[in-house]
Structure 1
């Protein structure tokens, strides 16, 4: 278990070599105001980020130095198809070919994600992006281009990263691009993601024989606010149904969870044809996990999708705080929750293989610290050591088939609505110069990864 991850939060070069505009380019450069009146922190953009586009060789060599065996890379759709479809931007496609070839040459295995939230703006303008079924054949065409160009060099793929986040926050709360706040659009986004995934996998099976594909799903462990309350236990399960089950259940069982269908009347049905196409479309389970939370029953409580009958918090009925706070209101260190969610997905979906494709922590207040404090990131070290220990226990004791683990992230980078104010990196990046400096956690990870490689 020894890998690191990056994606378009790193890439920068937002209009270089023919790249088109994405919804995040528009959202940040136009300083879009969220519902509630705030914008991206300090009007930050991903225009430069850590400039991976121009500096990828040095950054990949740094990952190699830190004993990474795999590198998770996401493609910017608008760099391949500036208008979403139509004519391929050959310079963009060549860039990813060269980068993948370099990874292979230095002994790092590429793991490629086709979509990580940066929809070409042209598709949002034409038909509403993920709200419309029109996106399905266009996504299939886009992914076919990637499979054909990179399939000989890349064995492990995912179609779409964290659809729960971009459906909920992009089309429900409006705090992510494209900044829409309509529950029905969240529901449509969910179904169109499933259709797009199924369509892409059909192409994948023909173009990349022997390849492995999944979709990155993010999930917390959900604990009952009162563990003696059957209503709270049901609320905790319902939270998991709403956030994970709406994507995983259709893949494995052919339908949405009953608890979601009972509360969201405008959630489209999974047709028999779609259920058939989704069956077997995960060759492994790609899990992103950061934290855990409590859920309690509350009649008519809502989320951006609609009525849920649960509310979420980080303290239980006894006032016990679930773990050490990170630097975001949603992030707490709950190591035992990692083992719990690994067991949950394995028990529910009867898996052959789980890849943990994101896991990481922000040190509280890091943005305001002096550099020497930033580099001595003991809370991040403790988080990573404790989470990895729980993953190992899940494998050794519980027999959960975890085969790979990716830390989010190698470098401090653009963190969506938080701009550059939140830091997941094990390497500090000076925003003025882009100079990279290893934090203590980077050295700890290098040792852990080296040990894993020797066993």
Structure 2
């Protein structure tokens, strides 16, 4: 398809960024907040820092929102801390938790910024984990439903865009790394019971939102990593399809069609897996009709036929040194591999802007639901230069190309209503602490030294501000060469 003009964005397009409570707030022991399982899990990732300080957004939220307004944000996606709102088994609502989130929401709205709230982003309260056994026990369904209703009842008068569970698929695929597998005797089989319980919790959130939030819209937040076949070899093609199914499509199909697809059922049968689906479960899920899909898409991967002589399921780079990524190999299913046609970050994530357009096209073709980008970003090692600034040209190039490909997807006919990359300020990476920085704003702290936590606008902040305020017309570079190339195709 030929494009003779630069892509354009709808006039009411949401431009902003994203964060998560446990990664940005800090203040984990202040004002009544109780511990969350991710607090404990983050402390096992040494030498990376725990999240007791993080970016200290809890004490800097007014300053942070003022910077968002200066940048031109029209949206901000963030999560609520279950532990801050309901810190104990007695279910009493923490007034200080309510006060913080009310203040943050009001500050955003006063700045002309639409809040987009994630209900759950990896931070189950320890009391829920102890009472329910984490996601392993169905008693968590009613606890989660109660928590969601507290959120909708207290914030739904002002917040109309909601997200249920962040990257449920990644919590299952990387259960050991994220601590979800704790207490399981056979993770290979048990994870499907946990996943089913999480699906029921997702359904409860969807139903409660539609019941309690006038004009409310809600959707899931899958972590989407498109898988390209390594070669034209048929075995590689099937392996890539298997990887798509087992890392994301199983979840997307359930969210949209509200039933488990045939691949899932056959997979369970072949591996003697009982997901413990009980009477009434699928009827509950059937009621959970989503309004849109929130998309977290940082990169693509490459699938190939697996080596059946060994099993490897890590799929991580823990050091931040290029070349140390351990690619998964699942006998009988798929293996992943390095794509030689694109560059990688220090953590070996493929830098592939086209994957954003690919993902949006794929999801639109399969599901025909509106989408909002809730994560995409460039993580790298950074510190203040001698001039006291951060010159992050690599991040600018990354965001420019990814945003541009969103524009191309919109030209392709895909309905996309927002771009909220990860992240606004630097914050704790899930596995790599402050060493892996994503922010448009530098936070002066490290894993070893809290420093003064001052905020410093990076070059990417200035570039992104111009893109936002021009609604996707000022790309910060001469685009005539691209236009000439398109015209001469």
Determine the C-alpha separation between the residues in 2 that align with 1:174 and 1:107: 38
Do residues 237 (structure 1) and 241 (structure 2) align? yes
1:187 offset after TM fit, Å? 1.7
**2:357 equivalent among 339, 345, 365:** 339
Shift of 1:384: 0.7
Query: What's the secondary structure of 1:287's corresponding residue?
Result: strand
Residue 24 in structure 1 maps to residue 48 in structure 2: no
1:322-377 deviation per Cα after TM superposition (whole angstroms, max 9, x unaligned): 42111223x121011111111111111122x11111111123xx247846697111
- Counterpart CA distance in 2 for 1:371 and 1:278 is 56
Q: Structure 1 22/143 Cα, relative in aligned 2: closer, same or farther at 3 Å?
A: same
Is 1:108 the counterpart of 2:113 in the alignment? yes
TM-score, length-normalised on structure 2? 0.83
Match of 2:102 in 1: 97
Any idea what the Cα deviations from partners look like across 1:400-455, whole Å, max 9, x if unmatched? Answer: 10111101001111112211110111111111111111111111111111111899
Structure 2 partner of 1:313:
337
Does the 8 Å CA contact 2:353/2:398 hold for their aligned counterparts? yes
Partner of 2:378 in structure 1? 361
1:185 paired residue among 170, 187, 190? 190
Unaligned runs of 5+ in 1: 33-39, 316-320
Per-residue deviation at 1:241?
1.1
Partner of 1:391: 406
CA distance in structure 1 between the aligned counterparts of 2:473 and 2:47, rounded to whole angstroms? 45
| Structure 2: tracts of 5 or more residues without a match | 1-12, 315-327, 446-450, 475-489
Question: Secondary structure in 1 aligned to 2:239?
Answer: helix
Q: 2-side partners of 1:43 and 1:453: how far apart?
A: 37
* Per-residue deviation, 1:85: 5.7
Answer yes or no: is the 8 Å Cα contact 1:41–1:420 preserved in 2: no
Contact 1:173-1:180 within 8 A present in 2 as well: no
- Measured in 2, the distance between the counterparts of 1:379 and 1:225 equals 26
Post-superposition shift, 1:101? 1.3
Candidates 259, 267, 275, aligned match of 1:263: 267
Q: Cα 1:367–1:185, aligned 2, differ >3 Å: closer, same or farther?
A: farther
Match of 2:65 in 1: 60
Q: Say which is worse superposed, 145-154 or 3-12, in terms of deviation.
A: 3-12
2:460 maps to 1:447: no
Partner of 2:144: 139
Matches within 5 A, 1:244-283: 244-264=248-268, 265-266=272-273, 268=275, 273-279=280-286, 280-283=288-291
Superposition RMSD in Å: 2.4
- From 155, 158, 173, the counterpart of 2:160: 155
In the alignment, the residues of structure 1 paired with residue 301 and residue 457 of structure 2 have an alpha-carbon distance, to the nearest angstrom, of 31
Deviations 1:169-228 (A, max 9, x none): 3xx3245467567223322221111100111222222211210001111111110011x2
- Which TM-score applies when normalising by structure 1? 0.89
- State the Cα distance separating 1:270 from its structure 2 match: 5.7
Query: Which structure has the bigger radius of gyration?
Result: 2
Gap change, CA 1:16 and 1:369, over 3 Å in 2 = closer
Which residue number corresponds to residue 120 of structure 1? 125
Structure 2 counterpart of 1:413, from 412, 427, 450: 427
Contact 1:164 1:217 in 2 (8 A): yes
More helix by share: 1
